[in-house]
Amino acid sequence: MGSPTVALETKSMIKKTEVGLDQSWGLDHGAWSVVKHLYPNADVPIIQMSLDYYQGPQYHYALAKELAALRKKGVLIIGSGNMVHNLSKVAWDKFNVDNFSYEWATEASEKMKQYIISGDHKPLIEYGSQGKAFELAIPSPEHYLPLLYTLALKENNEKVTLFNDKAVAGALTMTSVKIEAA
């Protein structure tokens, strides 16, 4: 179920861009595939924000900072995507092989995890200049940008942990990032 109240509050706090509201648009797979496991009874209000595909990563990182007030009010913010997500390179015949990863996917994933754990977000924001492994890992940004939203909201006194750190079919990673009070 949506929350028009939270949606209006979110719209009012964002100054960087114009925010439109649409109550007829359902949740896409990036939202419902995650929240259905967290809240199987669908008994919490959920709003989903669309990504402006035409804006660069620094724009998204800065926009996310404007959402900090929601977090301070106890709103759970989830960025759903994949750090490595290249469907054109997926080894469909290896889908059931546990933790199968191409070299470039492993390289990109390991570097990303180092940057996340160390709190060095700049190379993650500037992913386009990080070399061939990142280029292959992020051929289009829609699955990657949600990571920048969550990292932008991390405060200095918070701890980052990684879990579900698995490669799938060579060209996907399921790594999850959790940010919580230390």
**What confidence score (pLDDT) does residue 84 get?**
94
Per-residue 3-state assignment (H helix, E strand, C coil) for 4-70? HHHHHHHHHHCCCCCCCCCCCCCCCHHHHHHHHHHCCCCCCCCCCCCCCCCCCHHHHHHHHHCCHHH
More confident residue, 160 or 26: 160
Q: Nearest Cα to 162, choosing from 177, 152, 148? A: 177
Most trustworthy range by pLDDT among 24-33, 36-45, 113-122, 154-163: 113-122
Q: How far is CA 61 from CA 41, 125, 166, in A?
A: 32, 7, 25
Question: What is the per-residue burial (b if ≥16 Cβ within 10 Å, else e) of 72-107?
Answer: eeeeebebbbbbbbbeebbeeebeeeeebbbebbbb
Q: Does pTM surpass 0.85?
A: yes
- DSSP assigned state of 105: H
pLDDT category, 1, cuts 50, 70, 90? low
- CATH superfamily of this structure's domain 4-181: LigB-like (3.40.830.10)
Q: Are 147 and 79 in contact (CB under 8 A)?
A: yes
- Domain boundaries defined on the chain: 4-181
Per-residue pLDDT of 20-39, as tens digits, reads 888 777 777 777 788 888 88
